[in-house]
């Protein structure tokens, strides 16, 4: 899936393998699947999980924790 605009999620957000996102804010947890790409920022109120091969080109913030799998950037 390709998202050309910023995304706001009122709850948990999960992006599948290879998703392309400009920017995302989740009021819950945030999960980026393998090889997902965030061009700008990723923010979550709960924990964030970044899968193998996923890339965030700017900043990542979480109020609780960020978990990077091997090969995530």
| pLDDT attached to residue 46 | 98
The DSSP call for residue 69 is: P
Distance CA 39, CA 10 (A): 21
* Full pLDDT tens readout for the chain, 73 residues: 899 999 999 999 999 999 999 999 999 999 999 999 999 999 999 999 999 999 999 999 999 999 999 999 9
pLDDT of residue 1: 87
SS3 33: coil
The reply to whether the predicted model has a pTM over 0.85 is yes
CA torsion through residues 36, 33, 42, 10, sign:
positive
Query: How many residues can be counted in the chain?
Result: 73
- Residue 9: partners with Cβ closer than 8 Å, 6 or more residues away: 24, 25, 26, 27, 28, 30
């Amino acid at each position: 899936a390709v998202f050309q605009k910023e995304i706001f999620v009122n709850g948990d957000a999960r992006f599948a393998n290879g998703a392309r996102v400009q920017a995302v804010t989740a009021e819950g947890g945030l999960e980026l699947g393998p090889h997902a790409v965030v061009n700008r920022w990723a923010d979550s109120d709960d924990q964030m999980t970044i899968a193998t091969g996923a890339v965030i080109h700017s900043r990542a913030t979480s109020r609780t924790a960020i978990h990077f799998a091997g090969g995530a950037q």
